[in-house]
Amino acid sequence: MIDIKFLRENPETVKQNIRNKFQDDKLQLVDEVIALDKELRETKAKADNLRAERNKYSKQIGACFAKGEKEEAERLKALVTEKGEELKNLEEKEEELGEKVHAIMMVIPNIIDESVPIGKDDTENVEIERFGEPFVPDFEIPYHAEIMEKLNGIDLDSARKVAGNGFYYLMGDIARLHSAVISYARDFMIDRGFTYCIPPYMIRSNVVTGVMSFAEMDAMMYKIEDEDLFLIGTSEHSMIGKFIDTINDEEKLPYALTSYSPCFRKEKGAHGIEERGVYRIHQFEKQEMVVVCKPDESKIWFDKLWKNTVDFFRTLDIPVRTLECCSGDLADLKVKSIDVEAWSPRQKKYFEVGSCSNLGDAQARRLKIRVVGKDGKYFAHTLNNTVVAPPRMLIAFLENNLNADGSVNIPVALRPYMGGKEIIKVNT
């Protein structure tokens, strides 16, 4: 959510930003919110003046009684009552207008960074850099579910009976590999100076609306029936929520946190849920990075975050590339975003395994995450990035470490988490 003062003073900048995000249907909201904001400020000014008048009359009443001027005191009391009724109406109008302004401001997209490429959707995202050489072996690589099944590592049929499509049983060495990746990611981030955290797996609605847009919430979140609780779609939601309505000491910033959690997603939309795989699913686990920092440090942290993911995947012998998200592919709260994509030898192309986002002060403004420093109070900047999200990540891992006989090599970095195992063999 952008600052209403900024919108008031820069309406054309806000409108151009909306055009850059190809959301022209929201253009009229700028003029609408400016008119409502003007009416709100006028109403507030009237209410403030009325309060001052009422207080003045209230003080005079006591003085009149002291002088024995009963008739004048009664007249003033009637005026106070009259002003009180008028003030009540103004306060109700003020609250109504405030809610309308807030509702519109919640859907006007955040101002994107000037470096973001302009494009309509993810087909116009821009490749930035490749890390590692993409490799295609001289043998056919099966679909990832087949690789897992040959290693007795997955049972999708039983999961479908128990929970439906979008769920899975991971078994044996594949299940162990899944846990090993998460444990390694935890230690990898701790070694880089991040504080490890396990957050709540459910959050209240005020946190949900503080960290994402309404469209994202509808497409992602599972609601707990009869309770003001939602299952998290990713741990950054509860991690950012940790700072809701706080005033933080500038000298203690930045907060650099890495969190583990399961994640639950409806995955509504055209892409749908996979029936025979684990690429797009309702339930998965994730190691995340979250940073709360001063505004002038958020660009530096943004680069640090996506580089952490690149470095992590390279230690597992997986080639990756970074992709700059274009304006039309950015969620409304984001200032800038870079996806990290892993190489798929089977498909001979890259696919997304992580997303790094700078939200500026949008989440902080919604959640009232403030900082106090030598120059006064201001809103913090928040950032997040995926370290790793298995089992999707296992697709890239298995394809890039597969041998012709169906066995899978374990990179050196993961072996301590696999009991020293160097290879996963077929039918073990």
Which tens digits make up the pLDDT trace of 49-86?
Answer: 888 887 777 778 777 777 777 777 777 777 777 777 88
Mean pLDDT of 413-421: 97
**Among 265, 321, 346, 366, the one annotated catalytic:** 265
In the residue annotation, 276 being an active-site residue is answered as no
Q: What is the pLDDT of residues 326-346, one digit of tens each?
A: 999 999 999 999 999 999 999
**Among 341, 344, 392, 399, the one annotated catalytic:** 392
Residue 36: pLDDT over 60:
yes
Q: What is the pLDDT of residues 190-202, one digit of tens each?
A: 999 999 999 999 9
Residue 17: pLDDT over 70:
yes
In the residue annotation, 265 being an active-site residue is answered as yes
pLDDT bracket for residue 273 (50, 70, 90): low
In the residue annotation, 344 being an active-site residue is answered as no
Distance CA(201)–CA(418), nearest Å, equals: 27
**Among 130, 280, 314, 370, the one annotated catalytic:** 280
In the residue annotation, 392 being an active-site residue is answered as yes
When the candidates are 1.10.287.40, 1.10.167.10, 1.10.340.30, 3.30.450.20, the CATH number that belongs to 4-105 is 1.10.287.40
Query: In the chain, where are the structural domains located?
Result: 4-105, 122-424
pLDDT of residue 140: 95
**Among 297, 352, 370, 407, the one annotated catalytic:** 352
pLDDT bracket for residue 274 (50, 70, 90): low
Q: Beta strands 376-379 and 369-373: pairing type?
A: antiparallel
Residue 159: pLDDT over 80:
yes
What would the DSSP string read from start to end of 349-366? Answer: EEEEEEEEEE-TTHHHHH
Task: For Cα atoms 286, 304, 199, give the angle at the middle one, nearest 5 degrees.
Answer: 30
Q: Name residue 397's amino acid.
A: F
Q: What is the percentage of the chain residues whose pLDDT exceeds 70?
A: 97
419, 180 Cβ separation under 8 angstroms: no
In the residue annotation, 160 being an active-site residue is answered as no
**Among 259, 298, 337, 355, the one annotated catalytic:** 355
Architecture of domain 122-424: 2-Layer Sandwich (3.30)
Token pair 């809103």: residue? 379
398, two tokens: 């298995």
